[in-house]
Amino acid sequence: MQIFIAQQNYHIGNFSANTAKIIQAIEQAKAQNGDLIIFSELAITGYPPRDFLEFEDFILRSEAALQGIAQHADGIGVLVGAPARNPDPNGKRLFNAAYLLYDKKIQAVQHKTLLPTYDVFDENRYFEQAVRHEVMHFKNKKIAVTICEDIWNLGDNPLYRICPMDKLTSQQPDFMVNLSASPFDYTHDEDRQAIIRANALKYQIPVFYCNAVGSQTEIVFDGGSFVFDSKGNMVKKLPLFEEALIATTLNADNSITEQITETADRLPLHEINPLTLEPELNISQIYEALVMGIQDYFAKMGFSKALIGSSGGIDSAVTIALACAALGAQNVRSVLMPSPYSTSHSVDDAVALSQNLQGPYDIIHIDKIYEAFLSELKPVFGDLPFSVAEENLQSRTRGNLLMGIANKLGYILLNTSNKSELATGYGTLYGDMAGGLGVLGDCYKLQVYALARYINREKEIIPQNIIDKAPSAELRPGQKDSDSLPDYTVLDQILYQYIERRQGPSEIKSMALPGVDAALVDRTLKMVNRNEYKRNQFCPIIRVSPKAFGVGRRIPIVGEYLL
């Protein structure tokens, strides 16, 4: 049996484009004598459709698309994901379903059992849990069809009380198929390999795993679909961050005789969970995810040109380089806005960066605008000493200028704030926190430096002085980030423990992290919690870590905890 995996990039709610893409892959598989082709979870609607699922019109369009696709399932079986109605008036009105199409009609349907509600997932909000588990019969084979989370309930501390494959295995399936929309984070490719290997070994059958690829606002799907044989060997791995269509031959005895990509004993045994922040960990994957996140956000929203405030600092430099890789340098406009406190080398560094990338840039001095603000505010400010108010006026002046240019010339402003800054509130609302998409908001400062080194791996794109110099907002004379924040080598490790690993103050203090004392832990966690109101107003952030700010981290704004 020739089984194809179609790893594709869908657009949520774009039924015509998604359907055309699915049909094209079906026709390609048919031309190569394919017997079965597998698509990802909710491929027809795109994932995650969220509250679109509450609209009857959305479901009707999904059903019409499914019927249209079925007309091409002649001579080939098609496994594709889409919502299904719940005929029982009790429970949610929909299931998250996998459809087997053949002979131009629906032959079988399997509903998803395990509905995640952690991190970015909200599936129990929309879907009812599966009540039946039956193998699908196709060309004398019995297929155990699972959907994404259904295969993850293994290990010593399972999240759910049931395991769908334990029910299906009693029906002696010949192989397992998993339709997935599994988001990227920089530990997840290894996690997936470990869990699929574990399933193959536990149930002693081949596993065909089809994952989505592409970015949906803040969530990036990296693909990396797999085929594993019954002994837990990886037979095929589809590329990360690319669409792909690959066939595998399943023999009559359910063996796979194709060349093994990776033997079971060389694959990860368990999920990756670094105990401390490792800034270089899978930095190439983080780079690819951020480029795809920018690229798809612009393409799917119908935009083409990005605007970025260029300060001569590391964050804006990395953001500009990423945007140029995603959109082309000619479509990325940098705006340098020196203030009375900007150093000459910052302007020079920013100019050098744009010249290295061959991208357009403008220099707009904000001195006169800033002085005008101070003049008008003098009667109100009186003789009060210089403070953060005057600093923020500079930042908000820049934000206004950037948004004015974006509005006038049709650009989307990319935000350059990093995760360390967002965590501690080291940013100005309506100033340097303005933007339509947060590029680095899920990268700690140490990871931003790692990205800069990765970008420069073959030649110097980001001027070395930008990487070497001490970071500064340059909003007052001689200012450095270290005036307000601990050194990033210390700060980022505390933040990682609190945000990613959800460790409390006593647990972090007991870890004896280098340079960390009890007072610093208390001060840092207080900064994180009291600045939730800022993050709540921030733009979407491209998610690259296991715990990003945004929809996957829900913290009350008004709360007393650790304040």
| pLDDT score, position 271 | 72
Predicted confidence (pLDDT) at residue 548 exceeds the cutoff of 90: yes
Q: Is 311 annotated as a binding residue?
A: yes
Predicted confidence (pLDDT) at residue 475 exceeds the cutoff of 80: no
Predicted confidence (pLDDT) at residue 11 exceeds the cutoff of 80: yes
Predicted confidence (pLDDT) at residue 482 exceeds the cutoff of 80: no
Closest CA to 218 of 544, 451, 554, 555: 544
SS3 20: helix
Predicted confidence (pLDDT) at residue 222 exceeds the cutoff of 80: yes
Predicted confidence (pLDDT) at residue 474 exceeds the cutoff of 90: no
CB atoms < 10 A from the CB of 316, how many?
A: 25
* Chain mean position to CA 278: 18
Q: Annotated catalytic residue: which of 21, 41, 149, 210?
A: 41
| pLDDT score, position 479 | 78
Query: Cα separation of 268 and 190, whole Å?
Result: 6
Q: Is 122 annotated as a binding residue?
A: no
Residue 112 bears catalytic tag = yes
Q: Is 534 annotated as a binding residue?
A: yes
Question: What's the average model confidence in pLDDT over 364-393?
Answer: 95
Query: Residue-wise over 183-192: b if at least 16 C-beta within 10 A, else e?
Result: bbbbbbbebb
Residue 148 bears catalytic tag = yes
Residue 41 bears catalytic tag = yes
| CATH topology for the 283-481+530-536 domain | Rossmann fold (3.40.50)
Residue pair 196/209 in contact (Cβ under 8 Å)? The answer is yes
Helices 518-530 and 488-499 pack at an angle, to 10 degrees, of 60
pLDDT grade, residue 473 (50/70/90)? confident
Q: Annotated catalytic residue: which of 112, 141, 300, 509?
A: 112
Take residue 311 and report the two structure tokens written for it: 């300060």
Predicted confidence (pLDDT) at residue 270 exceeds the cutoff of 90: no
Take residue 75 and report the two structure tokens written for it: 């001579």
* In the chain, % of residues over pLDDT 90: 91
Q: Which residue has the tokens 């698509």?
A: 39
CATH 3.60.110.10 in the chain: give the residue spans. Answer: 2-266
| pLDDT score, position 265 | 85
Residue pair 155/186 in contact (Cβ under 8 Å)? The answer is no
| pLDDT score, position 344 | 79
Q: Is 308 annotated as a binding residue?
A: no
| pLDDT score, position 232 | 95
Q: Is 524 annotated as a binding residue?
A: no
Q: Is 313 annotated as a binding residue?
A: yes
The CA-atom distances, in angstroms, between 482 and each of 196, 212, 426, 485 are 45, 42, 11, 5
Query: Cα separation of 291 and 23, whole Å?
Result: 28
Q: Is 314 annotated as a binding residue?
A: yes
Q: What is the mean pLDDT of the chain?
A: 96
pLDDT grade, residue 369 (50/70/90)? very high
Q: H-helix or E-strand containing 234?
A: strand 234-237
CATH 3.40.50.620 in the chain: give the residue spans. Answer: 283-481+530-536
Residue pair 454/314 in contact (Cβ under 8 Å)? The answer is no
Q: Is 506 annotated as a binding residue?
A: no
| CATH topology for the 2-266 domain | Nitrilase/N-carbamoyl-D-aminoacid amidohydrolase (3.60.110)
512 exposure class (CB count in 10 Å sphere: 0-12, 13-18, 19+) = exposed
| pLDDT score, position 164 | 96
User: Tell me: the pLDDT tens digits for 81-104?
Assistant: 999 999 999 999 999 999 999 999
Query: Cα separation of 260 and 36, whole Å?
Result: 21
User: Tell me: the pLDDT tens digits for 18-74?
Assistant: 999 999 999 999 999 999 999 999 999 999 999 999 999 999 999 999 999 999 999
Question: What's the average model confidence in pLDDT over 413-427?
Answer: 97
Q: Is 416 annotated as a binding residue?
A: yes
Q: Is 309 annotated as a binding residue?
A: yes
DSSP class per residue in 439-498 = SSTTS-HHHHHHHHHHHTSSS--S-HHHHHSPP---SSTT--GGGTS--HHHHHHHHHHH
In residues, how long is the chain? 563
Q: Is the dihedral of CA 485, 486, 488, 490 positive or negative?
A: negative
Question: What's the average model confidence in pLDDT over 395-416?
Answer: 97
Q: Is 5 annotated as a binding residue?
A: no
| pLDDT score, position 382 | 96
Predicted confidence (pLDDT) at residue 138 exceeds the cutoff of 80: yes
* 131 or 266, higher pLDDT: 131
| pLDDT score, position 463 | 97
Predicted confidence (pLDDT) at residue 272 exceeds the cutoff of 90: no
pLDDT grade, residue 273 (50/70/90)? confident
DSSP class per residue in 32-98 = TT-SEEE--TTTTT-S--GGGGG-HHHHHHHHHHHHHHHTT-SSSEEEEEEEEE--SSSS-SEEEEE
Give the torsion through C-alpha atoms of 485, 438, 149, 119, to 10 deg: 40
User: Tell me: the pLDDT tens digits for 171-193?
Assistant: 999 999 999 999 999 999 999 99
Take residue 522 and report the two structure tokens written for it: 């208390």
| pLDDT score, position 477 | 82
Q: Is 215 annotated as a binding residue?
A: no
Q: Is 478 annotated as a binding residue?
A: no
Residue pair 45/13 in contact (Cβ under 8 Å)? The answer is yes
Question: What's the average model confidence in pLDDT over 364-384?
Answer: 96
Predicted confidence (pLDDT) at residue 135 exceeds the cutoff of 90: yes
Predicted confidence (pLDDT) at residue 225 exceeds the cutoff of 80: yes
Q: Annotated catalytic residue: which of 141, 148, 305, 539?
A: 148
